[in-house]
Amino acid sequence: MRLARLPLVCVSLIIALLGCARGPAPIATYDRNHDGRIDEWVYRLSDSKTEEAFDTNADGKVDLVRIYDNGTLVKIEQDRNYDGRIDLVREYRDGHLSRVVRDDNFDGKPETIETYRKGQLAMVEHDSVGDGAVDSVDYYENGRLVRTERRRQR
């Protein structure tokens, strides 16, 4: 009889996933609104990266996350309708906004991705049906829409 063997890579992946699910312990917690419940958690993600997570509406769920690299803001994640799912992600590079991922209809699937160059809007990718495939791309120059490219649906 042969024993079924899990490939080592699978095993280490499972361990990694379990590690992620449990999450690291916060290095600091705060009760900013003084209601007796924690509403800010600070995590160390790596040697250079830290994360601040906030519960801004006091429902016990994190709805705002800020990630810093060497003290510089690199990413903001927001749950604007407080359903427990992130619906707006803003990424920063060299202090400038570089990318915005929006789920404006709050279905859990982002339908707009904005790309910025030096803080100025350069490209907007649309996934209007929410199937994960980009169906049109708007290009901007000096803040003005100059071209729209449509992609054929698969």
Residues that bind Ca ion (CB under 5 A): 55, 57, 59, 61, 63, 79, 81, 83, 85, 87
Q: Which is nearer to Ca ion, 53 or 97 (by Cβ)?
A: 53
Cβ closest to Ca ion, residue 90 vs residue 140? 90
Nearest approach, Cβ of 58 to Ca ion (angstroms)? 7
Identify whether the C-beta of residue 126 lies closer than 8 Å to the C-beta of residue 114: no
Cβ(105)–Cβ(120) below 8 Å: no
Q: Which is nearer to Ca ion, 51 or 63 (CB)?
A: 63
Please, which residue, 77 or 79, has the CB nearer to Ca ion?
79
Q: Which is nearer to Ca ion, 40 or 140 (CB)?
A: 40
Question: To 10 degrees, the CA torsion angle through 55, 104, 73, 26?
Answer: 30
Nearest distance in Å: CB 93, Ca ion: 25
Cα separation, 135 vs 149, in Å, equals 8
Strands 49-54 and 96-102: unpaired
CB of 109 within 8 A of CB of 130?
A: yes
Collapsing DSSP states into helix, strand and coil, what is residue 13? helix
Give which of 123, 122, 84 is closest to 103, Cα–Cα: 84
